[in-house]
Amino acid sequence: MKKQSISAAAFDEAFDRGDDILPYVDLSKATRPGLEPRRVSVDFPEWMVHDLDLLANKLGITRQSLIKVYIADRLKAEQG
C-alpha cells in the first residue's frame, strides 16, 4: 500500500493536533536510534556460563537475554 504524501509542515501540524499520522509514515524504514544491535564478545569462566544457563533455563529465556537484563539493570542502578 502506497503511503500518502504531505509537506513536513502539514505533518508537524497534524502530529501536534494529535491526528492520525500513520497514513503518512513508512514503518518499514523506521529505525530506533541508539538501539541498533552491536556485537560484543565477552569471555566468561565455565562455571559462570553454567550458572547463567541454569538460571536462563529456569526463567525460560536465553542466556543472551539474561545477560542483557542483568547488565541493563546494573547500568540503570549506576545512573541513579
Residue spans of the domains in the chain: they are 1-30, 33-80
Assess contact for 14 and 6: CB atoms under 8 A.
Answer: yes
Express as a percent the part of the chain with pLDDT over 90: 70
Q: Write the pLDDT tens digit of every residue in 22-57.
A: 998 888 888 888 888 899 999 999 999 999 999 999
Query: Which fold, 33-80?
Result: Arc Repressor Mutant (1.10.1220)
Statement: residue 63 has pLDDT above 90: yes
Three-state SS for the chain is CCCCCCCHHHHHHHHHHCCCCHHHCCHHHCCCCCCCCCCCCCCCCHHHHHHHHHHHHHHCCCHHHHHHHHHHHHHHHHHC
**pLDDT at residue 74, as a whole number:** 97
Express as a percent the part of the chain with pLDDT over 70: 96
**pLDDT at residue 7, as a whole number:** 92
Statement: residue 3 has pLDDT above 80: no
